[in-house]
Chains A and B, each alone.
Chain A
Amino acid sequence: MVRYRATVILCALGCSSLSACACPAGGPGRVARLGAAVRAVGPEGRGHPEAQAAVRELSALEPEALPELLAAMDGAGPVALNWLRGAADSVAERALRGGRPLPGAALEAFVLERRHAPRARRLAYELLAKADPSAPERLVPGMLDDPSVELRRDAVEREMALAEKALEAAGKEAGLAAFRRVLAAARDPGQVDRLAKKLESLGEKPDLRRHYGFVRRWRVVGPFDNAGQAGFAASYSPEEAVDFASEHAGKIGPVRWVEHQTEDPSGVVDLNALLGKAKGVLAYAACEVESPAEREVHIRSGTPNAIKIWLNGRLLFQRDEYHHGMSMDQYVVPAVLRPGKNLILLKVCQNEQTEDWTESWTFQLRVCDPTGGGIL
């Protein structure tokens, strides 16, 4: 037991001591050095020769080095995460195929240390579940507020079943309380939908707009010209300066910012209804978001129209694509809010297709934490 705890502590510290004492990684600092080579991969294949050599070495590690290898994912970008995952998969599979045990205690400690990369923790959890099938039952109950969306999803699933039992055993009020608690933690839209329906069946309509952080109140100005889809690249005056009192030269005459509050439960703004049905046009929409401090967030949007998104005057995202569907979280853009007011400006473009299914000129946008929980 003492030894188990010691291993847990070492691994929770990022396994820096593990390689020095047991050397499953082939020498002190070796995994960290190789991991750094992988994390240095750049766009268009830059750094690939070094990363490839590093992954070859990492793939040959002993299974005891898995927590250290997973720790190398901390701070890695999406591409490097996949490189390192490739090495971890190779190490784990070789061990399991050869009948060698995975380091269960160290993997468990890694999962429990929330400062590690969420995806690395999820991978550690899945490897741990192979090494110790009883681990999920032990760990999942503590994951309802986990920063890993995948781990949280498992916990929400479990808690939903428990809430159902509470409802059956202790009645409506106990059930409502349990389902409310689970909904607050839920991030997966499928789970949120199921929970919302359950609460509604019990007579309570949850505010999903708030849960997700959909922006309701907008200021909108338009239409501006988008004939030939040229407006996407053009810069109209609202892009130069956002002054809600100002007048602009629109496609069919002067236009002013108008206030609009959407009542749609998913925060959808229908620009056809607001500005009149038109083709070959574009509009700007702006909202202000207050933040008490600097904060990492996601700005998540959906639209069947071409879109540009600015935050505090900086272009964050653009997509020149029309009428290939709209869905919640279609575009997920990480951003940093500054303390105080933050201005989000959208440019939403409609093209000139004439088919019925190309009439939509709509958008939705939410501001949430990186797990998807609304912050507005």
Chain B
Amino acid sequence: MRRALLVAAALLALWIAGGAGVLAGDWPSWRGGRGGVSDEAGLPERWSAEEGVRWKAPLPGRGVSSPVVVRGRAFVTCASGPGEERLHLVCIDAAGGEVLWERQLWATGSTQCHPKTSMAAPTPAADPERACALFASCDAAAFTRDGTLLWCRALSLDYPDVSNQVGMAASPVLWRGLLIVSLETDSDAFVLALDAGTGENRWKLPREKGINWATPVLLEAGATAALVLQSPRGLAAHEPSTGALLWRHAAKLDSIASAVAGEGEGGALVLAPGGETIALRPPRPGGEPEVVWRSNKLRTSTASLTCYGGRAYGVNSAGVLTCARAEDGEVLWQERLEGPFAASPVAGDGKVYCVNEAGVAAVIDARPDAPVRVLATCPLGEPVLASPAIAGASLYIRTERHFYRIGGGGQGARR
């Protein structure tokens, strides 16, 4: 069974997306493009604002987007100004924490949002050639690794009805030279694929109108790829190079917590949170997806699920972390953590990291035979709403005002 899971995990690693040229230890997009799971070893187990911090860099504005890390460069977005009309993309040297460059845009769309979120809500996406940023004002831009502007788009001017006053948040997906953005609101809704090199439209997929913040999940195995879109009406998988529909599954799903790729005994699964979390086996070409299990016990709130080591982890609005077997959804244990949580759990090196809104991380021992579940609680002393990134044997955590690299050796804070 353990061997079968390892094989499944290896297949999953091939199946879920990885951008061309992105190294195995990189974290190129929201939740690393692989559901918040890393194969890095030597990840930190204990830290605080004073201990275990390799560097700490101030940020030019606030934000709830996650950092990404590609080939030694970390990218993070911020927003500043009284109305968050200044949009920033900051490139930081992952080794030392120095700001290599910072670029700004002026917001061209509405900057109104719920006070808890920000114009810097969608996580950027990067590959070895470029870093792409999307903001809640529907401004998108791409820069070379040295900070030269490649293009920018004002999507709210191109598509004036695409706006919501709560704030956009779905993160873009960067795949084979396409930057795929999901913009779904009450007054207009679509998924748009831009040429990541030029910013020009490649395809545009109309979606049923309705406010939705779920980030698409990209599945890839060999020559087959599927972009799975989640909305309160269900899942729809599309061929990412054209937008053509591959399959659809109707279900009442979340509009915030997003689907994640997982693995079970029988192969790869898509776990989608909702009133009931469903585990779906994607079909072979031309087939229909199969519902493998449903669970009303594996609940989420803002945070998405994490599937790691054959187990699915979800933290609900009360701060209860539930661990369920991925292959059948059976709940294995529950642990009440100090919440609430906006950030999604991330996992690697036998640990699951759950960072609450106060910036306190619960480090969970994910080994099946773990004698104690919570290994440590690690405070940073600042609010954290963004999911961490994992790269270079480190956690990268963006707080309200700072960017931390935790672990990875070379202690010493940059302030």
Contact = CB atoms under 8 A, between A and B. Distances in A.
Interface of A: 43-45, 48-49, 51-52, 55-56, 59, 78-79, 81-83, 85-87, 89-90, 93, 119, 150, 153, 188, 190, 306, 318-322, 324-325, 327, 330-331
A137 to B, nearest CB: 22
A327 B201 contact: no
Contact of A45 (B101, B103, B149, B198): B198
Contacts of B139: 82
B208 interface: no
A86 B108 contact: no
B187 interface: yes
A330 B106 contact: no
B198 to A, nearest CB: 5
A86 B158 contact: no
B318 interface: no
B308 interface: no
B108 A78 contact: yes
A45 B165 contact: no
Contacts of B199: 45, 48
Contacts of B195: 45
A90 B139 CA distance: 19
Contacts of A56: 148
Contact of B166 (A59, A78, A325): A325
Contact of B211 (A51, A318, A324): A324
Given A55-B149, A79-B157, A86-B141, A119 B106 contact: yes
Q: Which of A56, A119, A324 has the most CB of B within 10 A?
A: A324
Contact of A90 (B147, B153, B186): B147
A320 B154 CA distance: 20
Q: 8 closest Cβ contacts across the A-B interface?
A: A86-B149, A45-B200, A324-B165, A320-B187, A78-B108, A321-B186, A79-B154, A82-B152
Main secondary structure of the interface of A (DSSP, over half): helix
A79 B200 contact: no
B47 interface: no
Interface residues of B, number: 41
A324 B103 contact: no
21 contacts: A44-B158, A48-B151, A48-B198, A52-B151, A78-B154, A82-B105, A82-B108, A83-B151, A85-B106, A86-B103, A86-B141, A86-B148, A89-B102, A93-B101, A319-B163, A319-B187, A320-B186, A321-B165, A327-B165, A330-B110, A331-B110
A217 to B, nearest CB: 27
A318 B188 CA distance: 12
A318 B114 CA distance: 21
A52 B198 contact: yes
Contacts of A81: 106
B98 to A, nearest CB: 11
Contacts of B182: none
Contacts of B108: 78-79, 82
Given A82-B108, A325-B112, A51 B151 contact: yes
B104 A89 contact: yes
Nearest to A190: B82
A208 to B, nearest CB: 17
A46 B146 CA distance: 25
A235 B13 CA distance: 54
B165 A325 contact: yes
A83 B148 CA distance: 10
A43 B138 CA distance: 14
Interface in B138-187: 139, 141, 143, 147-154, 157-158, 161, 163-166, 185-187
A96 to B, nearest CB: 11
A162 B187 CA distance: 47
Given A48-B200, A330-B112, A320 B152 contact: no
Contact of B194 (A45, A78, A327, A331): A45
Nearest to B81: A150
Contacts of B105: 82, 85-86
A44 B151 CA distance: 12
Nearest to A56: B148
Contacts of B153: 45, 79
Given A52-B151, A324-B165, A85 B187 contact: no
A119 B86 CA distance: 11
Contacts of A327: 112, 165
A322 B211 CA distance: 10
Contacts of B149: 55, 59, 83, 86-87, 89-90
Interface string B112-140: 10100000000000000000000000010
A57 B97 CA distance: 30
Contacts of B81: 150
B198 A321 contact: no
Contacts of B141: 82, 86
A86 B150 CA distance: 9
A306 B104 CA distance: 32
B220 to A, nearest CB: 26
A324 B199 CA distance: 30
B157 A78 contact: yes
Contact of A321 (B82, B150, B164): B164
Contacts of B161: 318-320
Interface string B375-415: 00000000000000000000000000000000000000000
A319 B186 CA distance: 9
B151 A85 contact: no
B104 A85 contact: yes
A216 to B, nearest CB: 24
A188 B81 CA distance: 11
Nearest to B154: A79
A153 B198 CA distance: 36
A302 B6 CA distance: 55
B152 A325 contact: no
Nearest to B147: A90
Nearest to B101: A93
A211 B81 CA distance: 22
A188 B186 CA distance: 30
A83 B164 CA distance: 25
Contacts of B82: 153, 188, 190
Contact of A59 (B148, B151, B163): B148
Contacts of B143: 86
Given A85-B106, A89-B104, A321 B112 contact: no
Given A48-B199, A82-B108, A82-B141, A322 B194 contact: no
